[in-house]
Amino acid sequence: MPLKLSKRLTSLLQHCGPDYDAFWDCCCDHGLLGMGLLEQYPQKNVHFVDQVGSITAKLADTLAQLHAQHYQVHTLNAALIDLPPAQHPLIILAGIGGETAIELINGIESRHPSGQRHYLISPNYQLYDLRTFLRQRGFSLLRESLVTENGRHNEILLLSNSGGHKNISPCGEFWQKGSAQQRDYCQRLIRHYAQKQQPDIAAQYTAVAQQYGLLT
């Protein structure tokens, strides 16, 4: 029976094109995204990484029942993954905080100082800090989108660790579309940063939101 994925995971899966040699579902927990990848690309390598042993043990049992061939399960801090040289991997970091995403990207990049890599990231919080970090680190943007599910908004960014694509803006380009979801999302962000007593960031979001007519 085909896997049934949530709207958020389906959207992440749609960003995983066929051109990668391997997919790394880091911080995989239930492993549903990686399982979706195994279903979509049975001949590709899918790596499942989580630092919690009980999670990876349970996942290994579930995966054994799928009779998939090309996968590996790693019980590991995702900052420490070993990427084989001369491959074009997609590294996926979803469902974690922005600060954790920064730590993991820093770790992975410093362990692999050469090579071009793409990252698919969808963190829960601290998107502003994360976008700033990515810009400073010289990353560029291939695609971005906003997915809303059960009243929660999730940014999804497909990135290259080098230049050559779009610049990463402090807020997503999807802000320009001005739908009810975007309006709600930007109002939540402004409230969040105001409550956290980070008025500079709240003011930047407010300025962009006003520019796009998202605030009434």
Ligand X SMILES: C[S@@+](CC[C@H](N)C(=O)[O-])C[C@H]1O[C@@H](n2cnc3c(N)ncnc32)[C@H](O)[C@@H]1O
Q: Which of residues 97-156 bind ligand X (CB under 6 A)?
A: 100, 104
Q: If binding is defined by CB under 6 A, does position 55 make contact with ligand X? A: yes
Report whether 214 contacts 182 (CB < 8 A). yes
Q: Which of residues 151-190 bind ligand X (CB under 6 A)?
A: none
Give the span between the Cα atoms of 102 and 9, in whole angstroms: 21
Q: If binding is defined by CB under 6 A, does position 94 make contact with ligand X? A: yes
Binding ligand X (rule: CB under 6 A), the pick from 13, 16, 22, 28 is: 28
Least CB distance from residue 76 to ligand X, whole Å? 7
CB closer to ligand X out of 28 and 202: 28
The window from 40-48, 58-66, 96-104, 128-136 that contacts ligand X (CB under 6 A) reads: 96-104
Least CB distance from residue 31 to ligand X, whole Å? 8
Residue 200, amino acid: D
Q: If binding is defined by CB under 6 A, does position 29 make contact with ligand X? A: yes
Give the span between the Cα atoms of 186 and 215, in whole angstroms: 9
Helices (H), 42-126: 53-66, 98-111
Report whether 186 contacts 205 (CB < 8 A). yes
**CB neighbour list of residue 120: distance below 8 Å, 6 or more residues apart:** 12, 15, 16, 90, 91, 92, 93, 94, 156, 157, 158, 159
Least CB distance from residue 2 to ligand X, whole Å? 18
Binding ligand X (rule: CB under 6 A), the pick from 27, 63, 141, 202 is: 27
